[in-house]
Structures are given as C-alpha cells and as structure tokens.
Amino acid sequence: MSLLASLAAAAQLGATAPAAADLSEARWLAPDTDVLAFLTEAPGECLPATLRTSAAAQVEAGRALFRSPLIFGGPAARYGLSCNACHRDGRSNPRFFFDGLSGEPGTADVTTALFSASREDGVFNPRPIPDLVGAGAKKSLGSAGSFHDLEAFIDAAVAEEFQGDVEPSLVAALAAYLRALDPAACTGPRSIGLATALADFRRALDAADAALARADHALADALFLAALQDLQRVAERYRPLPALLSRIHAKAAELTSARRAAAQSPEAGRAALRRFRSGLADFDAALSAAQADSLYDRDVLAASLKR
C-alpha cells in the first residue's frame, strides 16, 4: 500500500475502525492470540481439487453450510458460531477460546447448556477440538465414542448442541463434505484475502443453484443464507470504505430477492440467480480495486488492530 493510500485509509478508519472483535472471524479467540496472523492466514483445506462429479454438488453444499452460522439456532447462530469457527478449514483451531466453554485454548465443552437445550451434563469437560480430516472414515466418533455414524454425529451436533433445525439433506451435505476431506489433499497454510472470500461466496451460490436444480428447497434456502453470510464477512472487511460497503449491501438486497423468488419456485430462483451472477464481475472488480484500503490488506488491518 502506498503512503498516501495508507494515510487516506487511516483517516477513514478514524471514524469507523472496528475493534478486532467486530470481525466475526476474530470473535472466538484466546486473549494472547496473534490476531493479525489469525485473520490473514488459515490452516488450509484438505479438499481434492477435482471430485467425482456425482458427489461434487453435495460436497460443495456441505462446504458452504460448514461455514454458515445460520444452520444453527439459539445463541450459536445469534453470535456467529459455525462449524468452521471451531474446525477451521475442516481442521482444528488451537486459538479457539470462549469463556465458559473452553478450558485451554483450542478446547470446547460440547455438553453444556450455553448453546444447547438438551446436552448439559453438569460437568465442565472441555475437549480438544479435533482435526476432521479422516473423521469420515472413523468407526466411532467423539471422545466418548458413542457415535458410530457420521450422519448421526452431525445430526446431534446441529440439533442438540447448537439448536439448529436439521433437514436430512443438510446433514447429508455436511457428511459428504467431511468424507471428501483427504489427508493427501492438504495444501498447508493459505492466506486469507478478498479472492478466497469471493471464491467461497461464488461456490455457495453455485451450490444453491445446484440444489434448486434438484428442487431441494430446504438445502437451497440454507445455501442462500450461507452465501449471504459469506458476503457479510466481506462487508466487515470493507467497513472502512462506505461507498463499497453500500455496494455490498445492495448486492445483499439483490441476493435476498433471489432467495425469495426461489422460495416461490426453483425456476424463478434460478433465473434470479443467473441475473445476480451476471453483475458479479463488475462487483468483484470494484472490490478488488479497493482491496488495498480494506481490512483484507495486512497493513490496514494491523493499523486497525492497534487502535
């Protein structure tokens, strides 16, 4: 970033600079975390680039849902917790910490009433958050070993631990995603930027379209919401740039209309999605042009974190 650009960014940030906690990605962190490193680098996913086509749609749907807080209910959904918040990129998260839920950083008590309506076991028993690569092939899941079936485990996690509404097709998609994770496909640490965020967004939209093509209403609707949540994460990074922020909001409104159309009929929804996508290239370009002044930029982010 140029000196002038950074001065301009600093001036704009003065008014609206978010605290680290304002980025929902940084919400569940141990106090001594290197927040800058956390927000600019992720562990890297272990998803093979080319999947058998029959499974690909399911896996992509599961991938988007894995990142969406809105598959949950209760406080988890309200405060932006997702599978991905704990299992970052489908891995673990050594920096995860939430007061009352975690013991050591990287652990969580998944049998507490803090998020759950039915799972309180009366004991504070945080467990290390496991890497999920290879979990799909396991014979028993969880440290109690009480689940022998991935679908049953996920169903219970969503419905009982996080008060979500579980539709079988959502559970199937999440399971397909986890089964597709492959130790041979791990990329190693990746950097987080506008490009990766927009890629997540587009993949969620593709998955929504594929679900509409199969007339799977519940899955499609959850994927529209997942895409909107992807867009929200982008918006958080553009908070210092009001003009782009309102552009992102306009896109969200357009996508919300497409969601409504899809609820009426899959065909109308797909048509609305196609129109939405035709405007995306311009949108992406505008965001890219300003990336250096957004919180995707390491220096801008670092300056905002210092405040």
Binding site for ligand HEC (CB under 6 A): 81, 83, 85-87, 108, 110, 127, 129-130, 132, 135, 138, 141-144, 153-154, 157-158, 174, 178
The residues pairing with 191 across neighbouring beta strands, listed in sequence order, are 41
CB 268 within 8 A of CB 262: yes
Least distance between another protein and beta carbon 97 (Å): 9
Determine the 3-state secondary structure of 258 from DSSP. helix
- 232 is in the binding site of which of another protein, ligand HEC, none (Cβ under 5 to 8 A by kind)? another protein
Distance from C-alpha of 260 to C-alpha of 140, rounded to nearest angstrom: 40
Residue 74 or 136 having the CB closest to another protein: 74
CB 257 within 8 A of CB 263: no
Q: Give the residue among 65, 81, 68 at the shortest CA–CA distance from 116.
A: 81
Helices (H), 101-241: 150-156, 168-180, 194-213, 217-237
- 78 is in the binding site of which of ligand HEC, another protein, none (Cβ under 5 to 8 A by kind)? another protein
Least distance between another protein and beta carbon 8 (Å): 25
Burial class of residue 289 in the structure, from the number of CB atoms within 10 Å of its CB (0-12 exposed, 13-18 middle, 19+ buried): exposed
Residues whose CB falls within 8 Å of the CB of residue 284, separated by 6 or more in sequence, listed in order: 198
Burial class of residue 28 in the structure, from the number of CB atoms within 10 Å of its CB (0-12 exposed, 13-18 middle, 19+ buried): buried
- 157 is in the binding site of which of ligand HEC, another protein, none (Cβ under 5 to 8 A by kind)? ligand HEC
Binding mask 70-109 for another protein (x = CB under 8 A): x-xxxx-xxx-------------------xx---------
Site for another protein in 234-273 (CB under 8 A): 235, 249, 252-253, 256
Q: 12, 125, 232, 288: which one contacts another protein (CB under 8 A)?
A: 232
Residue 115 or 224 having the CB closest to ligand HEC: 115
Least distance between ligand HEC and beta carbon 177 (Å): 8
Q: Give the residue among 276, 198, 288, 195 at the shortest CA–CA distance from 241.
A: 288
- 114 is in the binding site of which of ligand HEC, another protein, none (Cβ under 5 to 8 A by kind)? another protein
Q: Tally Cβ neighbours within 10 Å of residue 279.
A: 12
Residue 63 or 87 having the CB closest to ligand HEC: 87
Q: Does 275 bind another protein (CB under 8 A)?
A: no
Bridging pattern class, strands 190-191 and 127-128 = unpaired
Binding mask 25-54 for another protein (x = CB under 8 A): --x---x-----------------------
Binding site for another protein (CB under 8 A): 19, 21, 27, 31, 69-70, 72-75, 77-79, 99-100, 112-117, 120, 163, 225, 228-229, 231-232, 235, 249, 252-253, 256
